[in-house]
């Protein structure tokens, strides 16, 4: 079978997703913890389906809250589309409602493979959820269509979670991992989807790789009952602290997404990352403008800006509380390790992620006995590394769902 390369869209959208994941972390390191101003949350989704039910706390993680049949998607010919709302958990242990979109292939056979694919999401507004943007031809999603159509044609079911959660906590990787795991739980609990005994794999690149890596690492403690066959992660920021330190205060064309990530982290950690209290008048204006925006608007509004443009002072760069949030969302610093086969790939010359942090994490995982296969691709930068690795990733995922022994290269 010929496997198409996975395209990740234009360079414009590529810079967007890269700095949407990483850039805002720099700003979070500027923040102190003594202020009282609160975060700016997104407008609630106008569709009542997304609202949390009154009895949310009575449900356990992964419990199905509601299911809705969705219109067909031209991107995925023949697939049946379902939207599943389920109970998950935020970074503080509180219940939240989350959603995942399920693509069931034409002629699906019960217990065929299930792939949870984590798209990168570069946004702060509820209208930017994957479950919405699938229906408006968002280029970031269209670009991954070839890979997903390959597995759909092989009879796989595909889950596409909205892994930023209901408050669009942009940058909160641990939260994303928990939502991914609870989404898999929910899908497997729905008899009509016929995946109760399906082999399950996960995959994602860059920001999607971040959510996937956290799902794999958290699974032993957060969802130990889930049987997962493996996970593939590419070009992910293994250490957000080193990424933040590399970015510093210099103006950048994608700073709008850096600011958006800081806003997202404040939403998830309002007491520890209270950025709103340290914004000047321009900072308040852009924060409010970004609060419900998607990628392109965020890029345009913050182009060629820096943190200095929006803060009253940079003297709070070394805030211990804000730094601890960034550390808690850094995979290199997390003591737990995956207990499933892992595939990791990246470019050794990728200028946009801390490659040393990935290598350090790989070595630690190998030392802990993780069944890890790694691959360095020849691409000189971030986006082409995703495309170059895609065919090998597909083959590796196919081997895992067939139950073949996982290659180990440590």
Domains within the chain, CATH numbers bracketed: 11-240+327-401 (3.40.50.1820)
Highest mean pLDDT, choosing among 16-25, 290-299, 334-343? 334-343
Q: Which of the two residues, 72 and 145, has the higher pLDDT score? A: 72
CA distance 59 to 79: 30
Return the residue matching tokens 């209901």.
Answer: 166
Least confident of 303-307, 313-317, 337-341, 366-370: 313-317
What is the pLDDT, as a whole number, of residue 307? 86
Q: Which of the two residues, 209 and 382, has the higher pLDDT score? A: 209
Looking at the chain, the whole-number percentage of residues with pLDDT higher than 70 is: 89
What average pLDDT does this structure show over 117-134?
92
Is residue 259 within 8 A of residue 160, CB to CB? The reply is: no
Longest dimension (CA), the chain: 61
For 271-284, the pLDDT digits (tens) are: 998 889 889 999 99
Mean pLDDT for the chain overall: 88
Q: Which of the two residues, 306 and 233, has the higher pLDDT score? A: 233
CA distance 401 to 403: 5
What is the pLDDT, as a whole number, of residue 20? 40
What average pLDDT does this structure show over 188-208?
96
Least confident of 247-251, 363-367, 395-399: 247-251
Neighbours of 292 (CB within 10 A): 18
What is the pLDDT, as a whole number, of residue 25? 39
Strands (E), 211-364: 230-234, 342-346
pLDDT above 80: residue 58: yes
Question: Within 13 Å, how many C-alpha atoms sit on residue 119's CB side?
Answer: 32
Angle at the Cα of 125 (from 119 to 127), degrees rounded to 5? 75
pLDDT above 80: residue 14: no
Q: Which of the two residues, 383 and 61, has the higher pLDDT score? A: 61
pLDDT above 90: residue 104: yes
Least confident of 11-25, 84-98, 184-198, 257-271: 11-25
For 146-169, the pLDDT digits (tens) are: 899 999 999 999 999 999 999 999
What is the pLDDT, as a whole number, of residue 50? 98
- The string of DSSP letters for 150-211 reads HHHHTT-EEEEE-TTTTTT-TT-HHHHHHHHHHHHHHHHT-GGG--TT--EEEEEETHHHHH
pLDDT above 70: residue 35: no
Rg from Cα positions in the chain: 20
Which secondary-structure segment (H or E) carries 148? Answer: helix 145-153
What is the pLDDT, as a whole number, of residue 145? 84
Sign for the pseudo-dihedral over CA of 314, 318, 319, 323: positive
For 284-300, the pLDDT digits (tens) are: 999 999 999 988 888 89
What is the pLDDT, as a whole number, of residue 141? 74
CA distance 76 to 105: 9
* Torsion (CA) 173, 176, 182, 187 in degrees, nearest 10: -140
pLDDT above 60: residue 51: yes
pLDDT above 90: residue 45: yes
């Amino acid at each position: 079978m010929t496997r198409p390369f996975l395209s990740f869209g234009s360079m414009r959208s590529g810079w967007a997703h890269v700095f949407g994941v990483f850039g805002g972390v720099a700003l979070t390191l500027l923040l102190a913890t003594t202020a009282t101003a609160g975060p700016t949350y997104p407008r609630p989704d106008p569709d009542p389906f997304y609202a949390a039910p009154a009895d949310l706390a009575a449900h356990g993680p992964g419990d199905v809250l509601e299911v809705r049949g969705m219109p067909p998607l031209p991107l995925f010919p023949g697939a049946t589309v379902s939207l599943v709302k389920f109970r998950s958990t935020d970074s503080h242990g509180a219940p939240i409602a989350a959603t995942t979109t399920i693509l069931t292939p034409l002629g699906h056979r019960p217990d065929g493979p299930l792939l949870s694919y984590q798209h990168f999401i570069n946004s702060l507004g509820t209208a930017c959820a994957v479950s919405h943007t699938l229906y408006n031809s968002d280029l970031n999603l269209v670009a991954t269509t070839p890979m997903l159509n390959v597995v759909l044609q092989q009879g796989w079911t595909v889950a596409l979670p909205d892994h930023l959660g209901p408050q669009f906590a942009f940058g909160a990787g641990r939260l994303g991992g928990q939502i991914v795991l609870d989404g898999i739980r929910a899908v497997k609990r729905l008899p009509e989807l016929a995946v109760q005994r399906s082999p399950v794999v996960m995959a994602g690149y860059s920001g999607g790789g971040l959510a996937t890596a956290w799902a794999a690492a958290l699974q032993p403690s957060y969802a130990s009952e889930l049987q997962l066959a493996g996970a593939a992660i590419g070009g992910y920021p293994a250490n957000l602290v080193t990424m933040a330190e590399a970015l510093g205060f210099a103006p950048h064309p994608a700073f709008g997404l850096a600011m958006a990530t800081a806003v997202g982290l404040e939403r998830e950690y309002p007491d520890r990352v209270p950025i709103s209290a340290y914004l000047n008048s321009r900072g308040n204006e852009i924060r409010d403008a970004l609060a419900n925006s998607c990628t392109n608007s965020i890029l345009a509004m913050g182009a060629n800006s820096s943190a200095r443009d929006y803060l009253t002072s940079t003297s709070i760069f070394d805030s211990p509380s804000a730094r601890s949030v960034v550390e808690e969302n850094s995979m290199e610093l997390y003591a737990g390790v995956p207990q499933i086969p892992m595939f990791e790939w990246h470019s050794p010359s990728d200028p946009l992620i801390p490659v040393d942090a990935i290598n350090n994490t790989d070595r630690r995982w190998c030392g802990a006995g993780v069944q890890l296969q790694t691959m360095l691709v020849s691409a000189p930068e971030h986006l082409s590394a995703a495309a170059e690795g895609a065919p090998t990733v597909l083959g590796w995922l196919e081997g895992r769902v067939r139950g073949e022994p996982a290659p180990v290269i440590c």
